[in-house]
Amino acid sequence: MKILNPSSIAAPVGSYSHAIETPPGARILHISGQVGIDAAGVPGTDFRGQAELVWRNIVAILDAGGMGVHDLVRVNTYLVDAADIPESRAVRKTVLGDHRPASTLLVVSALASPAFRIEIEAWAARA
């Protein structure tokens, strides 16, 4: 994967890259928005618990596709409360380490269920 952070524009202001180019013929994995529920369908109660569960779900999906977090090329995060941004970033950093996929973070008025406080969709690629 080729990371693109051109010097002609402002540097990323967070733990992301402006763009990641996937090589021709790469396998692409599109991950639907994941929310903080486990296999039993039980939502996490606090924000951190939901965020950690969302990332565990994503890691499990990547694993099922023969990929890992370093194959993520794009991550979109949706939060219902801007106050959760620092905690969301902390959990993400724990999972991704220094990997910086292209990313968008949005604060929205609601998700599919009032119990959900975070949703993350992702794309991964492997040559």
Angstrom distance (rounded) from CA 71 to CA 37: 23
Q: How confident is the model at residue 8 (pLDDT cuts 50, 70, 90)?
A: very high
pLDDT of residue 38: 85
pLDDT of residue 59: 98
Q: What is the pTM of this model?
A: 0.91
Q: What structural domains and CATH numbers belong to the chain?
A: 14-126 (3.30.1330.40)
Question: And the tokens for 66?
Answer: 């023969």
pLDDT of residue 62: 97
Angstrom distance (rounded) from CA 54 to CA 46: 12
Q: Exposed/middle/buried for 106, CB within 10 Å: 0-12, 13-18, 19+? A: exposed
Q: How confident is the model at residue 44 (pLDDT cuts 50, 70, 90)?
A: low
| Average pLDDT score, the chain | 94
User: What tens digit of pLDDT does each residue of 48-81 get?
Assistant: 999 999 999 999 999 999 999 999 999 999 999 9
